[in-house]
Amino acid sequence: MNDKQGSWTLKKDRCKNCNICISFCPAGSLVIDEDGFPRQSEEIKCRQCGLCERWCPDFAIEVGGVFGAK
């Protein structure tokens, strides 16, 4: 678990900018960046709950790991 703490990864080529992840984030740590993609806020810390990964319809988010590393 320790080696995966604190990571949140977006695969932009899968993201359709639907903002579902932002709506479901209980921490409010996701914001829309200037390109329209979700990113982590600098002020609010991600809780690593995994909800955004679970609800993203396009499998564009990975929490607690790096794409391709599993």
Neighbouring residues of 63: CB distance < 8 A, sequence distance ≥ 6: 7, 8, 9, 46, 48, 49, 50, 52, 53
* DSSP letter, residue 53: H
Q: Give min distance, CB of 39 to ligand SF4, in A.
A: 10
The verdict on 60 binding ligand SF4 (CB under 6 A) reads yes
According to CB under 6 A, which one of 19, 31, 39, 65 is a site residue for ligand SF4?
19
Please report, as ranges, the residues that interact with ligand SF4 according to CB under 6 A.
8, 10, 15-21, 24-25, 27, 29-30, 38, 46-52, 56, 58, 60-61, 63
